[in-house]
Structure 1
Amino acid sequence: MFRNAQQLMLFSTAVVLFVTACLYGQQLIKTMTDALNNTTQFTVEMEGRMNTTLRTTEPKRYSGAEVLHTVRQMTGTSITVEVDGQAHLVDPLINRKKTIPVQLNGSYRPEFIRDEWGGLMRIQFWKEASVH
């Protein structure tokens, strides 16, 4: 009889530990999901306003389509976007058909103008001559 009671206690302990581990795992998954959702929401709210300090050794080139996308993404921010020296403001919510004069297949060199603290003030795109 004593042996059966001991086995029942061990089995009960194992069941309690298993259920506790399952509940703890479920709580961890919920916490990780909440953290991921909060990070995603924070990143969405910061769209176009993040400062980067990455420096590349080779200047990046943008296609005309990327320039159009950048202009539309920066609308509504305090950051001015210029293409070939002309500032453009395209608000897709007000006028979806308004566009800027860029060649979609063209190559544009970006210049990021920053203040003394590293904050982005203006983006300039300059068209490069094609070699065809």
Structure 2
Amino acid sequence: MMSQNTQQLMLFCTAVVLFVTACLYGQQNVKVLSDGLNHMVQTTANMEGRLNTTLHISQPEHYSGAEVLHTVRQMTGTTIRVEVDGTAYVMDPLLNRTVTIPVQLVASYRPEFIRSDTGEVLKIAFWKEASIP
């Protein structure tokens, strides 16, 4: 028969091994969940324009007039329509070099993204915000 001290030492060692194993298992689970969340964030970011999110931002984004002009140029040649203050514009310098858009470069514009039921961007509308002198 084993002595009482030997049995207690074996139980203590078993408890320590189980505790360390549980800690390592928990640490591995946290790492797997963290990697999964990071991958999901990256995938969601890559699907912009094809994914409709329900996240509402309390402060809407603001675009400067220069950013609005850049967006209009970038969207030319795509199926996405761009409107500025309710008027649709297409700016293709290869077809017409004299096309201008009445945008104030230093003004602030609020974007509105119109999406289809599948989340595809159909139209981007920019609305000039009133400036406070």
Q: Which TM class, normalised by the smaller chain length?
A: 0.5 to 0.7
Q: In angstroms, what is the RMSD of aligned CA positions?
A: 4.0
Give the equivalent residue in structure 1 for 2:34. 33
Q: Distance in 2 between matches of 1:72 and 1:29?
A: 44
Q: Call closer, same or farther: CA 1:4–1:71 in 2, change over 3 Å.
A: farther
In structure 1, runs of 5+ residues without a counterpart are 90-99
* TM-score, with structure 2 as normaliser: 0.59
Q: Distance in 2 between matches of 1:26 and 1:54?
A: 30
CA positional deviation for 1:35: 0.9
Q: Distance in 2 between matches of 1:12 and 1:76?
A: 70
CA contact (8 A) 1:113 1:121 kept: yes
Q: Distance in 1 between matches of 2:76 and 2:23?
A: 48
Deviation per residue, 1:51-78 (Å, 9 max, x gap):
245789xx98654355357558868964
CA positional deviation for 1:107: 3.5
Q: Distance in 2 between matches of 1:30 and 1:4?
A: 39
In structure 2, runs of 5+ residues without a counterpart are 93-99
Give the equivalent residue in structure 1 for 2:18. 17
Q: Distance in 1 between matches of 2:61 and 2:46?
A: 26
What is the 5 A alignment of 1:1-132?
2-52=3-53, 62-64=63-65, 67=68, 78-83=79-84, 84-88=87-91, 101=101, 102-108=103-109, 110-115=111-116, 117=117, 119=119, 120-127=121-128
Q: Distance in 1 between matches of 2:47 and 2:27?
A: 30
CA positional deviation for 1:20: 0.9
Q: Distance in 2 between matches of 1:21 and 1:10?
A: 16
Moved more, 121-130 or 10-19: 121-130
CA positional deviation for 1:112: 4.2
Question: How many residues in Structure 1 have an aligned counterpart in Structure 2?
Answer: 119
Q: Call closer, same or farther: CA 1:118–1:8 in 2, change over 3 Å.
A: closer
Q: Which amino acid is the alignment partner of residue 106 of structure 1?
A: A
